[in-house]
Amino acid sequence: MTETGIGKVTHYFGHLGVAAIELRGPLSVGDLIHIKGRTTDLMMKVDSLQVNHVDVHAAQAGISIGARVPEHVREHDVVFKLAA
């Protein structure tokens, strides 16, 4: 699988289990992503995206999104999109 950098985590909302991610590339519900950092190594399928608290199916580069994550991630963690 190839990994393409598509953004970085700008904030983690622990009480919601949501990561705020600033996108540098497109991301859609159903995409497989890899979030990597100094202590983070998480692979997951995107099951929800929000832009300004509104559910969306996809978002483009330059947008800040919220994505539900199953574990703690940290600011500055890099987000990669996986492709076969």
pLDDT tens for the chain, residues 1 to 84: 899 999 999 999 999 999 999 999 999 999 999 999 999 999 999 999 999 999 999 999 999 999 999 999 999 999 999 997
The pLDDT score that the predictor gives to residue 84 is: 74
Evaluate if pTM is beyond 0.85.
yes
Record: fold of 2-83: Elongation Factor Tu (Ef-tu); domain 3 (2.40.30)
Q: Which residue ranges make up each domain of the chain? A: 2-83
Q: How far apart are CA 77 and CA 34, in angstroms?
A: 10
Q: Which residues contact 54 (CB under 8 A, 6 or more apart)?
A: none
